[in-house]
Every structure is written in C-alpha cells, then in structure tokens.
C-alpha cells in the first residue's frame, strides 16, 4: 500500500492554497538573500553578460539566409531575424526582423516565449512558429509567411498543446496534437499522427499513424531532399527505443534495426548508431558503433554494413553531421573533443579536422546538407571565449565571430583528474581554479539520459563564480554520454546508485587532494541533476557545505504520474512494480529525508510553468523538511518553464540567487 502523502495538495500547480504557500516561501527567501548591495551588483553583472551586444549571434542556414533568435535588454522576449553571409561577416550586420516577440506579446496581451519554428524546404518561405505561455513545453502553433513577415491569415494553427508538426508541402503538414480523448500517450505527448490539408478543418485530417497509449510519443516527418523525397512515421515505446517506418504508397516498411539504435537517412545512405551490442550476419558490433549501408539495399534485405566508428574504453562518438558530400564526426577521448571527416565517395576515407585548444570543446553547429559542404564550427573552453568559424570540407576555415572575454581568466588553471568510484571505475572531472586559491568550490554534474557535460565557456559562471575567486568543478559521472551508450546504460534503473556513488567519489577526491574542504564545497544541479542533488542531500550530507537543487525530481514514488514523468520510466524504473520500487525507494529523496539529522543548508528552485518536471517535487520536499525543523530555502519562479526563466531578467535573478546562496553558506 502506498504511503500517505500529507503534502499532496502542493501538487495542485495553480491552486490558491499551493500558490499562497509558494508566495510565502518566495518572500522569505528573497527578503533574506536579495536585500543587500552585493546581490544587486551580482545580478546586474550576470544580466550584463546575458544582454551583451557583442555576444556571438549564433546562426543556422535555411536556404539563402542565416537565421538567428536574439534576446537583449531592449528585446527581452526576443527577435527572430535573418541576414546573408556577406552581411553577417560585418561587425554590425543588417538584420531583417521577421518577428518581434515583445511587440507580439504586448499586442496580444500574452506572455509569449519563443519555442522555435519549422520552415518549409526547399523554398523557406513558410514557417510553423511555436510560442508558449511563460516558457512551458506546451505551445501554440501558427503559420508564418517569411517573405511578408506576418502570420498567415486562415493558415495552419493549433491551440496550446504538446504538439508535433512538420511540413510535407506548402498545403499539407503532419500534425500530432491533442485531438481529444485517447489521442495522447500516458506521457502527455501525441499518440496519433495525421495529415492536415490547408483549408480543411483539423477534425477532417487523415490519420497516418497511431502509437500505443503507453508509448512516449508518435512522430512523422517528410524528407524533402531533392531526388530523395521520403516520408517516415513511427513511435517511441520508451525514451530510448524507436520503431521507425518508411511510408510508401504500398504501406509501411519497417527500418529493421534494434529498437534502441538511432537511425538517420541522408540521400542514398542509412546511418545506424548502436546503443547496445548487435550481431548481424555473424558480425558483432559493440554499443556505440556507427554503421553505414545503402538505404534501398538495406530495405530489401542486404546487410552489408560499413563500420564508420568503433568505440574503445576511452573514446566515444558524441555527434555526427552531414554536409552535402561528407559526414562529420565529433568524438570524445576522455571528454576531449576530436573532429573527423568521412567521405563515402572515396570508400569512407577518414581525415582529421582541427578541433581547437586542449581541454576545450568543439561543436559542429550547422551544415548545409542539401546544397554544399559548408559547416559552422564553435570552439570554446572554460577560460577560452567562444569562437565561431565558417569552413568548407577540404577548404579554408575562417573566423566569423569571436566573443570577448566576460571575466578575467589570467592566472586561472584548468586540469582534469580522475576519481575512483566505489566499484573501482575511474570517473573524470575538470577543475577550474582561480589564481588565488582558497575560496569556495562549486561542484556540478548531471548523470542521466546519455547527456555529456563538456568543458565549454560560460560568461555567467565566470562572472558570478570564477571571477569572484571561486573554484569550479564539473564531474563526468556515469549516466551521461561521455564514454558512449554503455556509460549511460550501466547506471540505469537498478544500477542508478552508481550515479550517486560516482558523484560522491568526486567530492571525496576533491577533499583528499586538498583542492577544497567539506566546509568550502558546495554543489548544484537541475532536473535529473536536481534528483542528484536530492540524493546528495539525503545520503551524503557529510560531504557538502551547501546544496542548490533546481527543477528537480524528488518524489520518485509519484514521478511517473506527474506531467511528462511516465516518459522517463526507461531511465529510472516503474515505481508501481514492487521489485522496481524497492531499488527506487532506496534513493528517492522525498522518502529518505528524516528529522533529527544534520543536513547542509539547501536552496530549492523551480518554476510554476514547468510542465515537464512537476513543481510539486520541490514544493513537497521543502514542506516536509520545514515540518521536520530544517531551515531550508525555496524559490519558485511563477514563469519560466523547465529552464526556470522566461527571459534574461529572470535568468539573471536565478543565477544570482544560486551563486549568492552558495557563496554565503560556504566557509572560506
């Protein structure tokens, strides 16, 4: 029988009693932390970084133009805009403003937050713009005319929902949304995908695919590559498995690969990345291997696969991106980036690409797979401001934009160390130390969903922590993707404890090396990293001087019935299964906080408008700890979505609260 939960009423997101409780806790925290000149100065410095006019305006090519979404002090909600490459090379490009979200919000009296646009290939004249209220995942969808720079009257429109939309042609789109009872999965995402023709009612749209109610989501998309036009549909049975089909006039043809493998199709090529070991035609392929095959031949039964990348104990595949004629690989070797070019026309010949300074990160931001072999490359490091480069495969690479330094990094050192976890596994972590050591140390990590945490630049971190004399530590614990799929899958479900043992091992290693002390060591994390913080608080309180827990999962008994929680059962397990609840219960923070113990000072932060991780997790944890006599702090942004901030003003407030809390609590 489930335990009685006396704080269940706090799950009523916008209920009067719950919001009264939130406002009271917010007032207490803000009164304590924000009244002094130091906080105001810190918040202003962070806001200055976020709004800086000389930030790199990152771009994506769509046809003849490069597109950018820009937010600053004058445009807090942002501008959707575009320019040409020739203009972009200038110090002050001439931008064509497509949509002013601030003006739209004021005109319509809505708190609109930009969530992106899907633009019709190959002409790029129409877009499906998504806007959310307050930063939620749920969006409204409106058709937009890019040439006329206005919404299309009587165009494609959808009310607020967690929809999936995509163009087929100018008069036809794929749409998955809330069509009514039974049209969503238990995770709250589209289960039914339809074709919707312009000028017809949504209720007359034709169903082309249906997933199962217990699936995470269904999908459909059209590949508009000239000469290779194809349509795909499918669904995700869980967060890591996909059933994908080619949609033909004769019916659906399954892409016959393991469900946990990732597949993409580019022109004549099928690319397969394995997530678990796979044996096919007598050949064994390790998890994390990248394979290629002619797409048409594969569908008709051929299994002639070419190995493009094989992992080893130190090296994994982080990403791959197509240009018109080449495949660009981004790999990690002990969390250090390397870049490679593969050329299928030459027997998949492999050549290296320059990747930037050591202990830094290089990322392919965009390519032009329809037309050319150009690419946009970003490089940065903990103390190296970002540089945006433009190049052609086999040609020159030149600098388009370079960000100025946001903090004084002179004398700072960056080093990588390895801690030994409880089971003997080596866990890498980075340490960024100021010239004058002795200040507080802030440790962070994530450890889930195969997300890699890389050594990139943050002006907010530099201004708010490093520039003040703090030491920063980034832990690459299991559950992430730093060493490929196995680094993640080895710490799922019943092995989740390894994530927490890894993070605790890094904390202990920092102390044993003399880099910091328990009294000077603080930690923070958000979302799955917020769960990590909850476990550190309840199971490893002796290691930390202070903890900040952001947009967290904490009540692991009910996470799967709150908002999108059901979609994560492949990661954590099913708490309704007694055997699985037994191992989940052992670390569920909400069920492992008890009175009469010594917990480090803690600040919990979340958002009312977060429709991904329910704010009830943080609310209930704080209420329970307060009832037990702990002086825990709490702040909930009424807006902001899962990022806990809807604009730069709110973002500056969030980071200032986090840094100021840790700085004030850690003894140095």
Domain ranges of the chain: 19-48+406-665, 313-404
**C-alpha distances out from residue 234 to 138, 157, 192, 222, 252, Å:** 21, 23, 10, 12, 10
Integer Cα distance of 319 and 647 in angstroms: 29
β-bridge mates for residue 633, sequence order: 603
First to last CA, the chain: 47
- Three-state DSSP class for 423? coil
Which DSSP letter does residue 184 get? B
Phi, psi of 618 (to 5 degrees): -70, -40
Would you state the pLDDT for residue 1?
38
pLDDT at 438: 84
- CB 523, CB 442: distance < 8 Å: yes
Q: Hey, which residues does 100 pair with through a beta bridge?
A: 79
pLDDT tens for each residue of 295-354: 999 999 999 999 999 999 999 999 999 999 999 999 999 999 999 999 997 789 999 998
Count the alpha carbons within 13 Å of 612 in the hemisphere toward its beta carbon. 16
| Closest-CA residue to 43 (of 661, 664, 649, 665) | 649
CA distance 381 to 404: 13
Task: Give 312: exposed, middle or buried? Use CB within 10 Å, 0-12, 13-18, 19+.
Answer: exposed
DSSP designation for 47: H
pLDDT the model gives residue 559: 97
| Residue reference for tokens 């007032």 | 27
Closest CA to 219 of 270, 164, 160: 164
Length of the chain: 668
Cα 371 to Cα 118, 211, 392, 432, 516, distances in angstroms: 19, 35, 12, 41, 52
Question: Rounded to whole angstroms, what are the CA distances from 128 to 100, 167, 416, 625?
Answer: 16, 8, 44, 45
Q: Which two tokens stand for residue 327?
A: 């495949």
Look at residues 160, 51, 76 and name the one whose alpha carbon lies nearest to residue 645.
76
What is the pLDDT at residue 640? 53
Select the CATH number that applies to the domain covering 19-48+406-665 from these four: 3.40.50.261, 3.10.350.10, 3.55.10.10, 3.40.50.1820: 3.40.50.1820
CA dihedral 324, 330, 331, 336 (to 10 degrees): 160
Separate counts of helices (H) and strands (E) for the chain: 13, 39
Rounded CA separation 340/274 (Å): 19
CB 238: neighbour CB atoms within 10 A? 18
Which residues partner with 271 through β-bridges? 264, 292
Q: Which two tokens stand for residue 123?
A: 């002409």
Structure tokens at 453: 């945490």
Q: Is the pTM of this model over 0.85?
A: yes
Q: How far apart are CA 338 and CA 353, in angstroms?
A: 8
Per residue, what are the HEC states of 216-248? CEEEEEEECCCCCCEEEEEEEEECCEEEEEEEE
Give the model's pLDDT for residue 642.
Answer: 52
Count CB atoms within 10 A of the CB of residue 64. 10
Is-contact 7 619, C-beta < 8 A?
yes
Helix axes 528-539, 616-627, angle to 10 degrees: 20
Beta bridge partners of 315: 333
E strands present in 108-266: 112-119, 126-133, 139-145, 150-151, 157-161, 164-169, 172-176, 192-197, 206-210, 217-223, 230-238, 241-248, 251-254, 262-266
* Phi/psi-derived region of residue 590, left when phi > 0, alpha when psi is between -120 and 50, beta in every other case: alpha
- Rounded to the nearest integer, the mean pLDDT of the chain is 95
CA distance 453 to 526: 13
Chain Cα centroid distance, residue 576? 28
∠ CA(229), CA(235), CA(240), 5° rounding? 110
Closest-CA residue to 655 (of 637, 631, 632): 637
What is the spatial distance between Cα 142 and Cα 217, in angstroms, rounded to a whole number?
Answer: 22
- Asked if 126 and 120 touch (Cβ cutoff 8 Å), the reply is yes
Dist CA 279 CA 267 (whole Å) = 26
CA dihedral 187, 189, 191, 192 (to 10 degrees): 160
Which residues are tagged catalytic? Answer: 527, 642
Greatest alpha-carbon pair distance for the chain in Å reads: 71
DSSP bridge partners of 140: 131
Taking 50 as the pLDDT cut, the residues of the chain under it are: 1
Residue with tokens 């590559």: 225
Contact 115, 132 (CB under 8 A): yes
**What b-and-e string marks burial along 104-127, b requiring 16 or more CB atoms within 10 Å of the CB?**
bbeeeeebbbbbebbbbbeebebb
């Amino acid at each position: 029988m489930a335990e009685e939960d006396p704080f269940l009423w706090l799950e009523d997101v916008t209920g009067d009693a719950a919001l009264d409780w939130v406002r009271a806790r917010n007032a207490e925290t803000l009164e304590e932390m924000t009244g002094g000149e130091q906080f105001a100065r810190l918040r202003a410095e962070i806001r200055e970084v976020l709004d800086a006019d000389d930030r790199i305006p990152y771009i994506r090519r769509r046809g003849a133009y490069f597109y950018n979404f820009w937010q600053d002090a004058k445009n807090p909600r942002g501008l959707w805009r575009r320019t040409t490459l020739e203009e972009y090379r200038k110090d002050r490009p001439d931008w064509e403003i497509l949509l002013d979200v601030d003006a739209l919000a004021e005109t319509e009296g809505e708190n609109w937050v930009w969530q992106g646009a899907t633009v019709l290939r190959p002409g790029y004249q129409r877009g499906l713009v998504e806007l959310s209220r307050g930063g939620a995942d749920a969006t409204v969808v409106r058709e937009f005319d890019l040439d006329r720079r206005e919404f299309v009257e009587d165009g494609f429109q959808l009310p607020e929902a967690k929809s999936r939309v995509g163009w087929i042609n100018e008069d036809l789109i794929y749409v998955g949304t809330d069509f009514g009872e039974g049209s969503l999965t238990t995770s709250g995402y589209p289960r039914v995908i339809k074709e919707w023709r312009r000028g017809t009612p949504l209720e007359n749209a034709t169903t082309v695919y249906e997933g199962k109610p217990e699936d995470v989501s269904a999908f459909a998309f059209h590949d508009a590559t000239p000469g290779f036009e194809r349509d795909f549909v499918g669904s995700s049975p869980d967060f890591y498995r996909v059933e994908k089909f080619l949609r033909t006039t004769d019916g659906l043809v399954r892409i016959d690969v393991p469900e946990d493998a990732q597949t993409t199709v580019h022109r004549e090529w099928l690319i397969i990345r394995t997530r678990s070991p796979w044996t096919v035609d007598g050949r064994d392929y390790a998890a994390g291997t990248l394979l290629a095959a002619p797409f048409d031949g594969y569908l008709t039964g051929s299994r002639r696969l070419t190995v493009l990348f094989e992992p080893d104990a130190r090296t994994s595949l982080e990403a791959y991106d197509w240009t018109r004629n080449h495949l660009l690989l981004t790999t990690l070797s002990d969390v250090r980036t390397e870049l490679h070019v593969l050329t299928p026309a030459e027997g998949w010949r492999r050549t290296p690409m320059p990747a930037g300074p050591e202990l830094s990160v290089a990322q392919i931001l965009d390519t032009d797979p329809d037309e050319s072999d150009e690419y946009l490359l970003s490089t940065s490091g903990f103390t190296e401001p970002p540089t945006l480069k433009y190049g052609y495969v086999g040609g020159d690479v030149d600098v388009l934009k370079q960000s100025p330094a946001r903090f004084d990094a002179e004398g700072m050192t960056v080093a990588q160390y390895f801690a030994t976890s409880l089971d003997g596994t080596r866990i890498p972590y980075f340490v960024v130390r100021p010239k004058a050591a002795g200040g507080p140390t802030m440790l962070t990590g994530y450890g889930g969903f195969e997300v890699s945490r890389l050594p990139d630049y943050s002006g907010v971190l530099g201004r708010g922590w490093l520039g003040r004399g703090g030491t920063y530590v980034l832990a690459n614990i299991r559950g992430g993707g730093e060493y490929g799929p196995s680094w993640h899958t080895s710490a799922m479900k019943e092995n989740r404890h390894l994530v927490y043992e890894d993070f605790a091992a890094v904390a202990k290693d920092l102390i044993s090396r003399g880099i910091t002390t328990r009294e000077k060591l603080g930690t923070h994390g958000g979302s799955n990293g917020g769960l990590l913080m909850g476990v550190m608080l309840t199971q490893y309180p002796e290691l930390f001087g202070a903890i900040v827990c952001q947009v967290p999962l904490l009540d692991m008994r009910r996470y799967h019935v709150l908002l999108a929680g059901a979609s994560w059962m492949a990661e954590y397990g099913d708490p309704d299964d007694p055997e699985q609840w037994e191992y989940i219960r052992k670390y569920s923070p909400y069920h492992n906080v008890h009175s009469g113990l010594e917990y480090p000072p803690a600040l919990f932060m979340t958002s009312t408008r977060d429709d991904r991780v329910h704010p009830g997790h943080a609310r209930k944890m704080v209420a329970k700890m307060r009832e037990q006599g702990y002086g825990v702090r709490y702040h909930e942004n009424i807006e902001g979505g899962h990022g806990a901030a809807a604009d730069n003003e709110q973002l500056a407030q969030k980071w200032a609260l986090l840094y100021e809390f840790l700085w004030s609590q850690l003894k140095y």
